[in-house]
Each structure stands twice: as C-alpha cells, then as structure tokens.
Amino acid sequence: FGLQYETALTDAVDFSLRGTLRYSSTYDLQFRTSQPSAPRSAGSAVLDLEARLAGSPVGWSIALIGNNLTNVRRPVFASEHVL
C-alpha cells in the first residue's frame, strides 16, 4: 500500500512525501506435510518513507529516505540441518 503527496513550496521548489506499507501475514518456514511442528513466521508490517525537495528549473533534488522504519526482520527459511 503506498501514498504520495506533492506540492509546490515556491515557484522553483517542489516538496514530495511518499510512504509505503507492506504487510505479510503468518507463513510456514518449512513444509508442514513433512514437519507438522515446523516453525512459522509471525505477521508483520514494514514502513518506508521518503521526503524530497526538488528544484524545478535547475533539476536538483535532495531526499531523506528511510527504509524499514518499523525495524522488522523476517526469516525466509528454517532448517534443522546445516545447508
């Protein structure tokens, strides 16, 4: 899910704000058919934000970008054995 807001601060400077929220529900880290007690990853949300100032006639921009502001780290696989 993403949102974007843009506005002109002056005739020569634009401001934009963008946000993205990604949600992932609970999922299995191994096949449940072979391992009924396989670990599961809990659901979580990840938030990214960007604030940008841009000069219209000259073509410059400066941005402050924050990725994973919710500080969520998710496993993608789990195994009992060394791979």
Number of other residues whose CB lies within 10 A of the CB of residue 33: 8
- The Cα–Cα gap between 70 and 12 comes to 34
Average pLDDT of the chain to the nearest whole number: 86
Which amino acid is it at 40?
R
Q: Report, as an integer, the average pLDDT of 53-72.
A: 92
For the cut 60, the answer to whether the pLDDT of residue 83 exceeds it is no
Q: Report, as an integer, the average pLDDT of 47-67.
A: 93
Closest CA to 69 of 54, 49, 51, 53: 49
Report if pTM > 0.85. Answer: no
